[in-house]
Every structure is written in structure tokens, then in C-alpha cells.
Structure 1
């Protein structure tokens, strides 16, 4: 009987932490998906859609409950969430695509720093625009440049492939 109680306790704790991890992973990955929405809008030179997607991103950021993150994730989230919100808010309010792209550059740097440590995401590609000397994240290896949009859609290169549950792979 003692062993059964112990087994039930272990199963309970395992399922509790599994659920907690899934909930925090879902919230964080919604931030990433919303970021990709902003990125795609800028690739398409669509300032209005960038506004809408940035609003989705602000809302996704606000939905992350830091208390459900492990200690390392909580520290990273605390370090970057306000920066993410600030740049997303500016993109959502600006009508100038050039201004949106300026904030997108800062947003991309912070997203990279956050997701490089989280490891809860699907595969992400870090890409670089040599003309702007700026990075961004993409959900595909194919270059889709958000800084030049339709003017130079394939300008850039993949510099890193970040696999969520495995180590970061550098691409040369």
C-alpha cells in the first residue's frame, strides 16, 4: 500500500510539472508565432498588417505567466519581456514601414536572445541582411527579407539554425 501511494504521488508530480511545462511552452510559442506574423507582414511591405500582427504580439506577450516558467526561463523572460512589448507596441502604432522596420530590428535581437535559451520552440532560422547589417528570425530556411520586403526579398543568408529541443547549430 505504501508503494502504491508513493507511485501515485510520483505520477501526480510528474503530470503536474508536465502540464506546467506545456502551458508555459504554449504561451511562449504563441509569442514566437506572433513575431513571425509581424515578420511576414514586413516581407510583404504591408504596414497595416504589421500593425495588426504587432498587436497580436503585444497580447501574446501579456499572456505569458512568468510564474509558470522554470527559474532560468523566468530570468530570461524577465530580462526581455518589456523590451519585446515596447518594440511590438511601437510597430503596432506606427504607420511608417521604415519606423516599423527599425523597431523590428531591435525586436528581432531580443527575440533571438530569448529563444536561444528557451529551447521550447520549433526550429528557428536566424537570418542576416548584409545591406542593413541586421538579423531576424524566420520559421523557414528560405530567405524572406523583412527589411527590404518586395524590393530585395531574397537578400540575406541563414547564419544559425536553432532546433528547439537540441543544441544550436551554426551554419557557415
Structure 2
């Protein structure tokens, strides 16, 4: 019996150590990298559409924080709609860049479509959200987000301690992978500030 108690105490200590200081913000994070954003090289119409997509993404993250699968599905559908509506075809950029942007938006939309069709549980939605977050981060690095700041945040304990990233519009940690279980577990690893 004492062995089980010791193991439980060690596991609890590991959880506490992995999360370090709950609620730690970007200003307190020594490992944070700040990345200067790309200049606003795409059309205002594109950036307006991308801001709508990001708003839907943040709603999806918030729904997962609350473990609300119905709200997550609504936000995922809105995000997919906004990504499908990005005016990439009308951009005046070279065909290679246009292809990269179309491919990125299409990959994210396909992952969201899978989330909506398969109707797995909360964990399945969180797994899809992880992939969407990684792909959306890559898209933002290629496009920028005119006048916006995006915080890339990381939870080291998600998915069996493999870790997972997500994006936020503020530095406060609200963990979409654990919700109330470990709401403030994580840290800001990158800040994208766009002019």
C-alpha cells in the first residue's frame, strides 16, 4: 500500500514539475522566442478573411478548454468555412506561393472536415485540433496576419507527454488539451507580431 502512495506522490510531483508555474505568461517565459511578422504583402481582403478564420479558431480552442463538443463542432465548421473562403486565387503572387497557400488552407480544411464527419469524442477533437494548430501556425508564418499578435503555446503533457501546441490571441494559458484538469498548464513558446 505504501508503494502505491509513493508512486502517486511521485506522479503528482512530475505533473507539477512539468507544468512548472501555472498561468505563466509570455513576459515570464525565459524560453520564448519572439518572431517579427512578415510585412503585409497580401491584399487587405485576404487579411480580413484570415482574421475571421483566426476568430473561429480561437472559438474552437475556447470550446475545447470548456470540453464543449457541440460548441467545438460549430467553431470547427465556421473555421472550415472561413478557410475555404480565403481569396487565395485572387492574390497577386507567384504560382508557387499561391500553391503553398492553397495547399495549406486545404489541408487544414480537410482535417476540420474529418473532425466534423467522424464525430469522435472530445479526445478525437483535441487530436484534430493539434494538427489544425500546427498547420495554421505554418500558414501564418507564410502569410502574416496584418495588425495581429499570435501566441504559440505548448503543453508538455498532452497526448501522453508527447506535447502539443496551440495558438492564442493573448498570453494567458488556457489549455485546450486538458481544460479544467490542468487549465493553466503550458507556456508561450513563440510570439508572432505582425505589422
Please give the TM-score of this superposition, normalised by the length of structure 1: 0.79
Structure having the higher helix fraction is 1
Matching of residue 136 in structure 1 with residue 161 in structure 2? no
Partner of 1:145: 175
Q: Provide structure 1 residue ranges, at least 5 long, that are not aligned to the other structure.
A: 1-17, 166-172
Which region of structure 1 is more displaced relative to structure 2, 127-136 or 113-122? Answer: 113-122
Deviations 1:74-109 (A, max 9, x none): 243123112111111223332411000010010000
> RMSD in angstroms over aligned alpha carbons?
1.8
Aligned length: 147
Aligned to 1:8: none
* Structure-to-structure mapping, 1:117-136, within 5 angstroms: 117-121=142-146, 122-132=148-158, 133-136=163-166
Partner of residue 66 from structure 1, selected from 63, 68, 88: 88
Partner of 1:81: 105
Partner of 2:52: 30
Q: How far is 1:117 from its partner?
A: 2.2
Partner of 2:188: 158
For the residues of structure 1 that align with 2:57 and 2:92, how far apart are their CA atoms? 23
Task: Give the alignment's TM-score, normalised by structure 2.
Answer: 0.70
Structure 2: 5+ residue stretches without partners: 1-39
Of structures 1 and 2, the one scoring higher in RCO (CA 8 A, sep 6+) is 2
Please list every run of at least 4 consecutive aligned residues from structure 1 whose deviation after the TM superposition is greater than 3 angstroms.
none
